[in-house]
Amino acid sequence: MAIVGIGSLLIKRSAFSLMQRNMSLLRDKAFVNGEWITSKKGKSFDVINPTDGSVIGQVPDMDVEDTKAAIDSAHSAFKPWASTTAKERSNLLRKWFNLLEENKEELARLVSIEAGKPFKESLGEVFYGNSFIEWFSEEARRINGEIAASPAKSKEMLFIRQPIGVAALITPWNFPHAMITRKAGAALAAGCTCVIKPAEDTPLTALALAQLAHDAGIPKGVLNVITASRDNAAPMGKILCESPLVRGLSFTGSTAVGKILYQQCASGIKRVSLELGGNAPFIVFKSANLDQAVVGAMASKFRNCGQTCVSANRFLIEESVFDQFVEKLKVAMKTELKQGTGESCNTGPLINVTQLQRVDNIVQDAVKKGATVHLGGGPAKELGERWYQPTLLTNIKSDMLCYREEIFGPVVACIKFKSEEEGLKIANDTPVGLAGYFFSGDIAQCWRVGKALEVGMVGINEGMISSTEAAFGGIKESGIGREGSHHGIEEYTDVKYMCFGNL
């Protein structure tokens, strides 16, 4: 290694050591079988702060062999964990929740530095994420069976639920805390063990969650976290899908990757839960309260700088109120969105340069094809290489990328429609169907449109629909299964029919 390389590495290690002293939950190793380990090949990769591009630290760059070891650990731990009582699992999850609550501010700081979210927004995610562990600590004791009426006097029939086995959990970067707890809380409550593969952009929060799970007394091997760079992500995902020791996969991410994982799981007939991409319509009808609609639009669109799978993506505005709504939204965007790193700022950067280039390509495509730019329209270069201006576009046509693709950035594309039928036709003209929103003052229309939208979740006069108690998931190419609510635990259990005869 060259002297410059050694010096750079020493600087990184020094910076990481300093940060560790200030943040007790910061870890630079993976967590397997109750131990903090490096990769078998000794490789690591940098974790970058999206706000300024600085290196936060390094974590192991693991590969297939490391993944197999984590799977073996989870498999060995499965039978002992599955044999614990529901109350025992409930108590351990409650202890984990209590520790998460005690450390919520440090967890929020971790989310902020690796995901780029403003601290207040990160704290909101931690509150949301913690609530899943609380919820599933309670649901653990409500995994009920059934007694069926037997057709024969000599028989009794009953159904019980049992844990499926080892669950592989592959999580995204946009909610590095909540997407893990929403999956792991349900898996552990059901009696499953898990191997968690967090996104390469945001592994530090996952490792902090593992530390607190360990501190809560969750046995070794029950929860494992493996980390890897983008180069190793695909082969690791493949072995998580194809290993005969893994019985279920839960993945949150893009539809394209979800399809690949779905195919790879087919060979072993795995239980699959997929929460994939969306293209959420946000419809404003002429009967809507426009001020409420603008509040809903701001909440739905700009959380995490537009980087959520349920973000409003296509704004469909009825013709007679189009100009009025656009003007009100423009004012709200100009006055309420504050970019930067100060305490009053509420809009952060995009996760990486690739994402910024993708968002800018969508905007420039629209401009080139005739879209009108009312606000923004390009990178906020003065703030850094990952910052993008909140952008408002009108005169959107069907051949534009913003009409068809999930933007995943702070860009509002407003489309005009003339009737309820036309609005619904545009809203449903997409292969995905995760979330949809609409504002209307007509209760009959609310029922009609709510049922007609081809999505798994609908916000009616509401822009924020996520909660622990809600069944989260989509239809069409947006996924399979549900997370959260009492349905979330069903993804990790098998129904067994038991027939007692000769009675």
Where in the sequence numbering do the catalytic residues fall?
275
N- to C-terminal Cα distance for the chain?
77
Q: How far apart are CA 255 and CA 366, in angstroms?
A: 23
Q: Is 45 helix (H, G, I), strand (E, B) or coil?
A: strand
Tokens of 172: 């995204």
**Beta carbons within 8 Å of 105's beta carbon, 6+ residues apart:** 123
Spatial neighbors of 241 by CB under 8 A, at least 6 apart, are 168, 249, 261, 264, 265, 268, 270
259 C-beta neighbours (distance < 10 Å), count = 13
> Which pairing describes strands 146-148 and 156-163: parallel, antiparallel, or unpaired?
antiparallel
Residues 416, 418, 422: CA angle, nearest 5 degrees: 90
Tell me if 426 sits within 8 A of 282, measured CB to CB.
Answer: no
Q: Answer for the pair 211, 23: CB distance below 8 angstroms, yes or no.
A: no
Beta pairing class for 223-225 and 193-197: parallel
C-alpha torsion 318→319→323→328, nearest 10: -10
Total Cβ atoms within 10 A of residue 209:
30
**Do 475 and 456 meet the contact criterion of CB atoms below 8 Å apart?**
yes
Backbone angles phi, psi at 347, to 5 degrees: -130, 120
Helix or strand holding residue 317 (H, E): strand 312-318
Distance CA 198, CA 168 (A): 11
Quickly list H helices, 352-472: 353-368, 401-404, 420-428, 443-452
